[in-house]
RNA sequence: GUGGCUGUAGCUCAGUUGGUUAGAGCGUCGGUUUGUGGUACCGGAUGUCGGGGGUUCAAAUCCCCUCAGCCACCCCA
């Protein structure tokens, strides 16, 4: 029972799980390429400042969840906890800030949290960033990619799109003040947790789950009322756009962001079921991000989705899995069978399995066990005729196939 | 970081108020005679009962500690 164990909060991907995982990423890549987003792959290792400066020191990710360490050269490094800041860094270091950058990425992220349903210490994200266009049309374009992606995976209907605006820095600041004052007035009725949140990040009180807090929050000032002219018209443009595009959405004034760099549009695709980690895809616009890590004052909009959370929504992927076995009746012919397999030219989605051990009966049994559609058997009788026997396992029918015609035979059987 | 539940063969689990060599189903392996699988029948193997300590004549069962998994809070994809 004492086995070697995996690191807490990590997973081995094998069997159906990796098939599903790859399926999701393949769909994502295909879609992004067709919409002229280019792939970017940044290192898993980054300097710690990339995240401490951009996400905010008080954010949970920075204050307690990052895997940070000093390497042998005394460098302060982290395993990246998220993608956006790393991509901003890559745009700056590669001197392409003046370009219009449309990127997509996928890969592992690391956060040292207590694992639970939908939450891992090493998890995977797919995401896009549209950088350099301070135009609400790019927000809409990014949401369209999300819509199409979720539709491709056939999970859009299980999700609800919630949107909100955080406004620009000025209106956000004004709102923050007003909210703080309001909560201060009701301080004695707040839960202990929210009293704590009030100090660190008052916005967080808005999505408290405590019954009393919810009552108080219902009468709190509305962020929409604090948006200045610019912010308000951006939000209106966004909503008009969604209407025109027939995208279903809910305005959720309690939707806030945990990371400091967000402004204006914020959106989330959440599941309707009442599970705890119900955010599948989340994103928004960011303005201060580039400046905060020493770049030019440019802005962007993007989103990230948790691959594992997507997987939780689609446990019923049926993939075609055609297999065919080859084996001989005696050892002398094994190498001939291998040679036949090596010379085959057939569609790669058909899996060829060579059975190299066991007696005749066992070979049949093995072929059956791995779920083969049928099997090719090479015996001395067949070898003399330069033919091979094909047995279909579902019907039990056997027939002889010319050795030179195996590819044709298989292509006809499986791909016509 | 806090809390709840769980931990018995490869897997899913049973194990009565503590009481002899710890069980079932599935899987696995072998067999039902030599070039025919899947179905059926027969048979075999496998467990430091998560780990450590304690109580007891006796612990899978009771107590303490610890580890792991799941779930929830916090927070987030």
ipTM for the whole complex: 0.86
The fraction of chain A above a pLDDT of 70, given in percent, is 99
- Extract the tokens encoding A390: 């094909």
- Extract the tokens encoding A96: 């392409």
Q: Which nucleotide is nearest to A204 (CA to C1')?
A: B75
Residue A113 beta carbon within 7 A of nucleic strand B: yes
Residue A67 beta carbon within 7 A of nucleic strand B: no
pLDDT > 80? residue A305: yes
Dihedral angle of Cα A185, A187, A191, A193, to the nearest 10 degrees: 110
Q: Which nucleotide is nearest to A65 (CA to C1')?
A: B75
A365-383 in b/e form (b: 16+ CB < 10 A) is ebbeeeebbbbbbbeeebb
Which residues 374-413 of chain A have a CB under 7 Å from nucleic chain B?
Answer: 377, 379-382, 389, 391, 393-394, 396, 398
pLDDT > 60? residue A125: yes
Q: How far is the CA of A2 from the C1' of B19 (A)?
A: 29
Burial class (CB in 10 A: 0-12, 13-18, 19+), A199: exposed
Taking Cα atoms as reference points, which of A373, A352, A359 lies closest to residue A329? Answer: A359
Q: How far is the CA of A1 from the C1' of B53 (A)?
A: 20
Is there a contact between A155 and A310 (Cβ–Cβ < 8 Å)? Answer: yes
Residue A296 beta carbon within 7 A of nucleic strand B: no
pTM (2 decimals)? 0.91
pLDDT > 80? residue A411: yes
pLDDT > 70? residue A2: no
Residue A139 beta carbon within 7 A of nucleic strand B: no
Across residues A94-113, what is the average pLDDT? 94
Longest dimension (CA), chain A: 96
Q: How far is the CA of A375 from the C1' of B67 (A)?
A: 48
pLDDT > 50? residue A1: no
CATH 3.20.20.10 fits A322-415, yes or no: no
Q: Which nucleotide is nearest to A379 (CA to C1')?
A: B35
Give A276 or A383, the one with higher predicted confidence.
A383
- Extract the tokens encoding A346: 């057939």
Q: How far is the CA of A117 from the C1' of B4 (A)?
A: 15
Residue A59 beta carbon within 7 A of nucleic strand B: yes
CA distance A282 to A224: 20
Report pLDDT digits (tens) over A330-375: 888 999 999 999 999 887 789 999 998 888 999 999 999 998 999 9
Domain A16-168+228-313 matches domain A322-415 at the CATH topology level = no
pLDDT of residue A273: 77
Q: How far is the CA of A203 from the C1' of B57 (A)?
A: 65
Residue A362 beta carbon within 7 A of nucleic strand B: yes
Residue A361 beta carbon within 7 A of nucleic strand B: yes
Phi, psi angle pair for A45, to nearest 5°: -90, 135
Which residues 190-209 of chain A have a CB under 7 Å from nucleic chain B?
Answer: 193, 197, 204, 208-209
- Extract the tokens encoding A133: 């266009």
Protein-contacted bases of chain B (C-beta within 7 A): 1-3, 9-10, 28, 30, 34-38, 47-51, 68-77
Is there a contact between A379 and A328 (Cβ–Cβ < 8 Å)? Answer: yes
Domain ranges (residues) in chain A = 16-168+228-313, 322-415
pLDDT > 50? residue A40: yes
Residue A101 beta carbon within 7 A of nucleic strand B: no
Which residues 238-267 of chain A have a CB under 7 Å from nucleic chain B?
Answer: 257-259
CATH 3.30.930.10 fits A16-168+228-313, yes or no: yes
Across residues A74-99, what is the average pLDDT? 95
Report pLDDT digits (tens) over A134-175: 899 999 999 999 999 999 999 999 999 999 998 888 888 888
Residue A86 beta carbon within 7 A of nucleic strand B: no
Residue A119 beta carbon within 7 A of nucleic strand B: yes
Q: How far is the CA of A355 from the C1' of B29 (A)?
A: 18
pLDDT > 90? residue A95: yes
Q: Which nucleotide is nearest to A1 (CA to C1')?
A: B50
């Amino acid at each position: 029972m004492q086995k070697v164990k995996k690191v807490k909060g990590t997973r081995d991907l094998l069997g159906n799980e990796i098939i599903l995982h790859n399926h999701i990423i393949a769909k994502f890549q295909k879609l992004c390429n067709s919409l002229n987003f280019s792939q970017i792959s940044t290192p898993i290792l980054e300097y710690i400042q990339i995240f401490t400066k951009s996400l905010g020191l008080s954010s949970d990710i920075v204050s307690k969840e990052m895997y940070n360490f000093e390497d042998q050269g005394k460098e302060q490094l982290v395993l990246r906890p998220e993608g956006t800041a790393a991509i901003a860094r890559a745009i700056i270091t590669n001197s392409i800030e003046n370009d219009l950058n449309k990127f997509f990425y996928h890969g592992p992220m690391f956060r040292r949290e207590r694992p639970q349903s939908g939450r891992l210490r090493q998890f995977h994200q797919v995401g896009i960033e549209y950088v350099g266009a301070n135009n609400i049309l790019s927000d809409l374009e990014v949401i369209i990619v999300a819509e199409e992606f979720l539709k491709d995976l056939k999970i859009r209907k299980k999700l609800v799109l919630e949107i909100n605006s955080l406004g620009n820095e000025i209106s956000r600041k004004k709102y923050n003040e007003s909210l703080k004052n309001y909560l201060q007035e009701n301080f004695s009725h707040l839960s202990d947790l929210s009293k704590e949140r009030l100090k660190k990040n008052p916005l967080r009180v808005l999505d408290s789950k405590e019954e009393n807090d919810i009552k108080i929050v219902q009468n709190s000032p509305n962020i929409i009322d604090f948006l200045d002219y610019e912010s308000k018209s951006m939000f209106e443009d966004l909503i008009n756009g969604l209407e025109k595009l027939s995208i279903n959405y809910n305005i959720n004034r309690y939707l806030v962001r945990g990371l400091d760099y967000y402004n204006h549009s914020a959106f989330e695709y959440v599941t309707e079921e009442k599970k705890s980690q119900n955010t599948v895809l989340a994103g928004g616009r960011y303005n201060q991000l580039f400046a905060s890590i020493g770049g030019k004052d440019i802005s962007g909009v993007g989103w990230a989705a948790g691959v594992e959370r997507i997987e939780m929504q689609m446990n019923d992927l049926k993939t075609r899995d055609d297999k065919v076995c080859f084996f001989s009746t005696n050892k002398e012919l094994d190498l001939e069978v291998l040679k036949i397999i090596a010379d085959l030219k057939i569609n790669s989605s058909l899996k060829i399995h060579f059975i190299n051990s066991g007696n005749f009966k066992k070979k049949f049994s093995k072929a059956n066990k791995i779920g083969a559609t049928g099997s090719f058997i090479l015996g001395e009788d067949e070898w003399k005729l330069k033919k091979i026997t094909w047995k279909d396992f579902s019907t039990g029918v056997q027939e002889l196939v010319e050795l030179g015609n195996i590819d044709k035979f298989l292509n006809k059987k499986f791909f016509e």
